[in-house]
Amino acid sequence: MSFKLAESCHTELVEVLSGIVSLLSFCANAHHDLDKLGLTHSAPFDLSLISLITTLKIPHTYFVYIVECKDWSYYSGVTNDIERRLWEHNTGHDDGCYTYTRRPVELKYFEIFNDIKQAIAIEKQIKTWSRKKKQALIVENYEKLKEYAKSKNKKE
pLDDT tens-digit map of 70-110: 999 999 999 999 999 999 999 999 999 999 999 999 999 99
Residue type present at position 71? D
Mean pLDDT score, 142-152: 86
Total domains, the chain: 1
Domain containing residue 149: 2-155
Exposure of 68 in the CB half-sphere (CA atoms within 13 A):
10
Q: How far apart are CA 143 and CA 63, in angstroms?
A: 24
- Given the DSSP bridges, would you call strands 106-113 and 62-68 parallel, antiparallel or unpaired? antiparallel
Q: How far apart are CA 8 and CA 111, in angstroms?
A: 12
pLDDT of residue 15: 65
pLDDT tier for residue 18 given thresholds of 50, 70 and 90 = low
> What is the reported pTM?
0.68
Q: How far apart are CA 3 and CA 112, in angstroms?
A: 8
| Inter-residue contact 25 to 135 (CB < 8 Å) | no
* 3-class state of residue 78 by DSSP: strand
As a whole number, the mean pLDDT across the chain is 78
Helix (H) or strand (E) holding 106: strand 106-113
Give the distance from CA 128 to its chain's centroid: 19
pLDDT tier for residue 43 given thresholds of 50, 70 and 90 = very low
| Inter-residue contact 55 to 82 (CB < 8 Å) | no
